[in-house]
């Protein structure tokens, strides 16, 4: 079975169960927490991927890590995934859960990439403008990529608007080369 099929199947299973039990908001918080931990903790990822650590020990450690931070449904789900020897897929499963919840609640996932970090005031203003523009809740994420030199790249769901300085310079170069021909 393909990795993506595994992660989508598990994500859909807990998503529909949480929806049935009216626990989508709680699942959303848990998915955000687990995704954040997966993105920022090499130790957590090491725990998930380490074949030497027994399944029972992984379950015990995850219980300690998430005790009081996630709901019972999520805790039971993590135990099930780990018992089925699919714990390496937990980060991807929870990214898929986040995507399903965004679709369900009509939330736009927006990433703004700039050459310098945006200060809090500008970030909040951008979030307000995007929320107004789309007429729905926006999950705005800021990224820094010094290679774009200036301007910004805005990614909304699966569409990208590139207004970076590096892209504008490349376009200008192409136009100058065409003009010389």
**Per-domain boundaries in the chain:** 3-104, 107-180
User: Class of the 3-104 domain?
Assistant: mainly alpha
Alpha-carbon distance 28 to 103, whole Å? 12
What secondary structure does DSSP assign to 98-130, as a single string?
A: HHHHHHHHTPEEEEEEESSPPPHHHHHHHHHHH
Confidence band for 1, pLDDT divided at 50, 70 and 90: very low
Percent of the chain surpassing pLDDT 90 = 83
Enter the CATH code of domain 107-180: 3.30.360
Alpha-carbon distance 52 to 74, whole Å? 24
Confidence band for 179, pLDDT divided at 50, 70 and 90: confident
pLDDT digits (tens, 9 = 90+) for 35-45: 999 999 999 99
Q: What is the CA radius of gyration of the chain?
A: 20
Task: Give every CB contact of residue 141 below 8 A, 6+ residues apart in sequence.
Answer: 109, 110, 111, 112
In the predicted structure, residue 181 carries a pLDDT above the cut 70: no
Q: What is the mean pLDDT of the chain?
A: 92
Two structure tokens written together for 132: 């107004």
Task: Give every CB contact of residue 77 below 8 A, 6+ residues apart in sequence.
Answer: 10, 14
Name residue, tokens 């910004």. Answer: 152
Exposure b/e, 56-94, CB count within 10 A at least 16 = b: eebbeebeebbeeebbebbbebbbebbeeebbbbbbbbb
Across residues 130-134, what is the average pLDDT?
91
Two structure tokens written together for 131: 């929320």
How buried is 31 (Cβ within 10 angstroms: 0-12 exposed, 13-18 middle, 19+ buried)? buried
How buried is 162 (Cβ within 10 angstroms: 0-12 exposed, 13-18 middle, 19+ buried)? middle
């Amino acid at each position: 079975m393909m990795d993506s099929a595994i992660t989508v199947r598990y994500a859909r299973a807990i998503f529909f169960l949480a929806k049935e039990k009216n626990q989508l908001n709680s699942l959303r918080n848990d998915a955000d927490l687990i995704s954040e931990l997966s993105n920022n903790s090499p130790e957590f990822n090491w725990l998930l991927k380490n074949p030497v650590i027994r399944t029972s020990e992984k379950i015990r450690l995850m219980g300690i890590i998430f005790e009081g931070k996630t709901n019972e449904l999520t805790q039971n789900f993590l135990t099930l995934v780990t018992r089925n020897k699919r714990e390496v897929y937990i980060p991807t499963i929870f990214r898929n859960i986040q995507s399903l919840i965004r679709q369900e609640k009509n939330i736009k996932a927006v990433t703004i990439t700039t050459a310098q970090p945006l200060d809090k005031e500008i970030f909040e203003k951008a979030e307000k403008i995007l929320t107004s523009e789309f007429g729905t809740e926006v999950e705005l994420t800021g990224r820094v990529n010094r290679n774009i030199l200036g301007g910004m790249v805005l990614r909304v769901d699966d569409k990208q608007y590139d207004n970076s300085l590096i892209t504008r310079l490349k376009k200008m170069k192409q136009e100058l080369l065409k003009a010389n021909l």
